[in-house]
Structure 1
């Protein structure tokens, strides 16, 4: 199997989708969800 680095455009687009999905999830997860995200980002 060969793994290729994604193009800058694909990388940016996937990060945008991920940010949208995270924001949508945080609307329902509330402060507990935000605490999870914050803990994850520390590492």
Structure 2
């Protein structure tokens, strides 16, 4: 069985657009339906 890691390309693009809209991690998590810790992990990369 393959385990899928990380976010799909679609969800990554959605998260990038929220980052570009200058939303905080908490706001992006609520609006995008992500876990706040996941958003924080990706925001550190950006």
What band does the TM-score fall into relative to the shorter chain? 0.3 to 0.5
Taking structure 2 as the reference length, the TM-score comes to: 0.31
Instruction: Kindly indicate which of the two structures has a greater share of residues assigned to helix.
Output: 1
Taking structure 1 as the reference length, the TM-score comes to: 0.32
